[in-house]
Amino acid sequence: MNGKQKLELTWIGKENRPRLEPRILLEDPDKSYHARHRVKMGSREDAKARSLNTHFVAASEASPETVIGDIFDNRLIFGDNLLALKALEAEFAGKVKCVFIDPPYNTGSAFTHYDDGVEHSIWLSLMRDRLEIIRRLLSDDGSLWITIDDNEAHYLKVLCDEVFGRSCFIASNIWQKRYSRENREAIGDAHDYVLLYAKQRERFKVIRNRVPITEEQAKIYKNTNNHHRGRWRGIPMTAQGYRPNQMYEIVAPGGAIHRPPEGRCWSMIEPEFRKLLEAGRIYFGKDNNSQPNVIRFLDEVEGFVPWTWWPHDEVGHTDEAKKEMHALFGKANAFITPKPERLLRRVLHIATNPGDLILDSFAGSGTTGAVAHKMGRRWIMVELGEHCHTHIIPRLKKVIDGEDPGGITKAVNWAGGGGFRYYRLAPSLLEKDKWDNWVINKTYNAAMLAEALCKLEGFTYAPSDSVYWQHGTSTEHDFIYITTASLTHEQLQQLSDEVGPERSLLVLCTAFRGRGEYSNLTVKKIPKQVLSRCEWGHDDYSLQVENLPQAPAVEPAETKASPQARQLSLFREVSREGAKPRRKDKT
């Protein structure tokens, strides 16, 4: 057998991939919101020191030399999250430090009438398409965190192994979401998973932050000798193994002679021990004759290496999250099963520092953005549901105005500030006319058309104020010009003369009449130039597996459709219906 084999998850319809249209984003200033002052973070040098008690500096407190960014122009995007991810790719590829997503858990509660294999296949296909773009958005030291339950966790793990590479798997963290027993099931459900993948495993290990020590954990630090530095604890001065230069005798102040225990050695060479002894950093017990311990002060503790057990008393639970929602929106209008702010704080603390960019493409009630904002991180959120307007925007306004006292507000000393811009996805660039021909969408004005075609052709949209034919650029010498006019030979020749021999110009127009070659021009007709690029007019790729059409009646054996045919039929039906189900277990 030729070629290297690999283990991969297969499912019905895996080979079917959407050809996504890279839409442009349209800002709605009426829905954007900003405080009167900017909120800025200090320098990266002190970011880690601050991260144990996450706090950042207001603009009035930070000098221009130390400012590394602000949280004024975050992005809230209303629209299908797969199309939104595609829309973000050109600008943000390789720039996102942390992605947190809380996708639909695919519980199966609405799948009584459906083929279980088809249901799981659709969920996996829709997740795969999103994960592939997310991977491209992540920076080299970036990471992806996914909350999921037992229904799909293990399929999702294998899928992520395929998309990211098995070597990029970091951990499957266990979040204790309940503090009371669940007695209705055969075995009570008390946890969800938080899967963690890194773009580059070794880079992530270097940049990840330690988990801060809690007051309960700090209780072992005492100050029995009234040291001026405060609380401390003794660390045994032995290490496993045998090293000749670490087997010396130590004489305690009370006269006792100590040697390393059998099978162990001292944890340092003798000169280092002498330095610590002279500095008063060696403790021999109350009687001055006990085995030596190294004094470690509480203010030296950077925190603990994160581990996979996340108990509710450290990162919150579902009941705590509901109470946070009740405080913001009241019980009647509360979002169903959000995630607690402390859970998001743990994720963002480990994976990021102030000023880093966070993405959540399943925004739900907006917990990720609210927590990122309070922690001084930049953020992008995407949400298709109407709760983008009923929950996320009102919640963020309270955060910005300093009127959200709940969640992690007090823990991070949040007092308000910053802002966000609200965007919606533009409609599809092309639409069908009454004769069933693809034409440019009539809602597009000249600026929208130029920006959309720049994105499709891989150019950066940067219209010049002085040169009419410079709508975008791909390199210093390569430009693009978009017009709905029909260009004559004379107009093309004039363009060629203005561009000159040292530059090139891609011209997209509805029609042209040329005579001969223009060495520095490439002229193409629209929409013909882009017709085959992607799926036009497809607005809904949402994870709406709960509202799939019911399975048809069983056909006679001789005409029964294959699983692959039924899968394709379901995909087409989902595309046509565009149903909006109630989302579950969202952030």
Q: Which CATH number fits the domain that encloses residue 377?
A: 3.40.50.150
Do 290 and 344 fall into the same domain? no
Q: How far is CA 526 from CA 40, 385, 435, 438, 455, in A?
A: 45, 34, 18, 10, 14
Q: Is residue 584 part of a domain?
A: no
- Of 383, 401, 425, which closes a domain? 425
Does the pLDDT of residue 581 top 50, yes or no?
no
How buried is residue 415: exposed, middle or buried, by Cβ count under 10 Å (0-12/13-18/19+)?
A: exposed
The pLDDT score that the predictor gives to residue 185 is: 86
Enclosing domain of residue 454: 430-530
Do 294 and 315 fall into the same domain? no
Kindly report the pTM of this predicted structure: 0.83
Summarised one tens digit per residue, pLDDT across range 222-271 is: 998 888 899 999 999 999 999 999 999 999 999 999 999 999 999 999 99
Contact 299, 293 (CB under 8 A): no
Does the pLDDT of residue 538 top 90, yes or no?
yes
Do 483 and 460 fall into the same domain? yes
Q: Is residue 568 part of a domain?
A: no
The pLDDT score that the predictor gives to residue 556 is: 52
Q: Is residue 112 part of a domain?
A: yes
For 525, half-sphere exposure in the C-beta direction (CA atoms, 13 angstrom radius) is: 8
Do 193 and 317 fall into the same domain? yes
Q: CA 283, CA 277: separation in Å to the nearest integer?
A: 9
pLDDT band of residue 114 (cuts 50, 70, 90) is very low
- How many domains is the chain partitioned into structurally? 3
The pLDDT score that the predictor gives to residue 215 is: 85
- Of 267, 282, 300, which closes a domain? 300
**Bridge-partner residues for 481, per DSSP?**
507
Mean pLDDT of 512-528: 91
**pLDDT: which is higher, 47 or 300:** 300
C-alpha dihedral (88, 90, 91, 96), degrees to nearest 10: 70
> Six-digit token pair at 421?
């811009």
Does the pLDDT of residue 554 top 90, yes or no?
no
Mean pLDDT of 365-391: 96
Summarised one tens digit per residue, pLDDT across range 433-453 is: 999 999 999 999 999 999 999
Q: Is residue 536 part of a domain?
A: no
Do 207 and 139 fall into the same domain? yes
Q: Which helix (H) or strand (E) holds 199?
A: none
Q: CA 266, CA 248: separation in Å to the nearest integer?
A: 8
For 556, half-sphere exposure in the C-beta direction (CA atoms, 13 angstrom radius) is: 2
